[in-house]
């Protein structure tokens, strides 16, 4: 059995740990198996770039961050568009899948990766997906690998910012990754004891937010810390489409709402206000112990699916159980924070302002 592995989209902690789980299971349980790594995501499959991966290589990558295979973003919307040579990227991937004589392809990635994986399945390729993203927004799974590590990193950063805010009596906004879904900001903000948390799913009122800052001042609290998802939306922006909001922000000279919000809060409340963007630090580094265990479980289970000949699926977490979903059922769908959920109620119940 010849098995291919690729990592696609943004990097995150746990990618190598998942590949280790797959590789060790395959070499341990499938006699005569051969594993090849596809380089730089779907781009490598399009160009036919791969290399063999021996068992020994998998044994030493549990703690390594990033991906030993490299990764790129290959937009799903471009997969079926004819290129200059007349073929499509999807056709090239299908042809190289067959040229490499693969019996199965593991695709480690987020929502876009899963959409492309579903296309490959429809083209007759045997594919098994694995849910990777620090955004935790893949439909059909309770959690994605890489999420908990990113929460740990972001929460520690917010905690460190809090000491600066308290020392200087400042209001500090910390921008956390999450353009469509606010899971990372919600968990990190709650774990770090943020005074306010702003999510894409809950458009916020700037007056309500300024009132929260002034409440801290009246109560004599030293400083105020606000966790802001990069996709957070003003309630005045909510009626507009994403592209329209982006245009409005470009006109203001901003990519996200964070810097604009810092200026407004400073002007309205009279507090010294700063903004800090965490950026790619949330995606880098070695995985947490939780993600190492989760990644190993996911990779091992994916190897078991391949051994059983169960393809066209993606591995998922349901409660304490590792299971799978059909790729066709989850591709193109997202999992968002429910504004009426228990975790949101818990945050507001202890006084965290969500801007509404």
Contact 156, 256 (CB under 8 A): no
- Write down the catalytic residue from 11, 85, 103, 135: 135
SS (H, E, C) the chain: CEEEEEECCCCCCCHHHHHHHHHHHHHHHCCCCEEEEECCHHHHHHHCCEEECCHHHHHCCCCCCCCCCCCCCCCHHHCCCCCCCCCCHHHHHHHHHHHCCCCEEEEEECHHHHHHHHHHHHCCCCEEEEEECCCCCECCCCCCECHHHHHHHHHHHHHHHHHHHHHHCCEEEEEECCCCCCHHHHHHHHHHCCCEEECCCCCECHHHHHHHHHHHHHCCCCCEEEEEECCCCECCCCCCCHHHHHHHHHHCCCCCHHHHHHHHHHHHHCCCEEEEECHHHHCCCCCCHHHHHHHHHHHHHHHHHHHHCCCCEEEEEECCEEEEEEHHHHCCCECCCCCCCHHHHHHHHCCCECCC
CB atoms within 10 A of CB 206: 17
Contact 45, 93 (CB under 8 A): yes
CB atoms within 10 A of CB 25: 22
Q: Is-catalytic flag, 235?
A: no
Which residue is listed with tokens 């005074």?
195
Pairing state between β 50-52 and 171-176: unpaired
Which residues are known to be catalytic? 135
């Amino acid at each position: 059995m010849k098995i291919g592995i690729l990592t696609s989209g943004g990097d995150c902690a746990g990618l190598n740990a998942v590949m280790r789980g797959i590789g060790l299971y395959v070499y341990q349980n499938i006699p005569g198996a051969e594993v090849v790594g596809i380089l730089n995501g779907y781009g490598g499959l399009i160009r036919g770039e791969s290399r063999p991966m021996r068992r020994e290589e998998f044994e030493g990558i549990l703690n390594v961050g990033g991906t030993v295979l490299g990764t790129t973003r290959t937009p799903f919307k471009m997969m079926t568009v004819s290129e200059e040579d007349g073929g499509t990227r999807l056709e090239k991937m299908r042809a190289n899948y067959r040229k490499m004589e693969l019996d199965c392809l593991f695709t480690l990635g987020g929502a876009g990766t899963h959409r492309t994986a579903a296309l490959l399945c429809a083209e007759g390729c045997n594919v098994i997906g694995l849910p990777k993203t620090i955004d935790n927004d893949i439909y059909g799974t309770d959690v994605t690998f890489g999420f908990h590590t990113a929460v740990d990193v972001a929460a520690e950063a917010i905690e460190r910012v809090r000491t600066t805010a308290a020392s200087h009596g400042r209001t500090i906004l910390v921008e956390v990754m999450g353009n469509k879904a606010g899971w990372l900001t919600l968990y990190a903000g709650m774990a770090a004891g943020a005074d306010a948390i702003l999510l894409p799913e809950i458009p916020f009122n700037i007056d309500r937010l300024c009132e929260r800052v002034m409440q801290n001042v009246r109560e004599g609290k030293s400083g105020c810390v606000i966790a802001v998802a990069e996709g957070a939306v003003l309630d005045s922006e909510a009626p507009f489409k994403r592209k329209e909001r982006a245009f409005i922000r470009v006109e203001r000279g901003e990519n996200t709402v964070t810097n604009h919000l810092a200026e407004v809060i400073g002007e309205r409340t009279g507090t010294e206000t700063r903004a800090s963007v965490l950026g790619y630090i949330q995606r880098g580094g070695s995985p947490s112990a939780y993600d190492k265990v989760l990644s190993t479980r996911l990779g091992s289970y994916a190897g078991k699916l391949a051994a059983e000949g169960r393809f066209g699926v993606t591995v998922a977490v349901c409660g304490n159980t590792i299971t799978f979903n059909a790729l066709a059922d989850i591709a193109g769908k997202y999992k968002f924070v429910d504004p009426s959920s228990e975790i949101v109620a818990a945050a507001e119940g202890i006084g965290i302002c969500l801007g509404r």
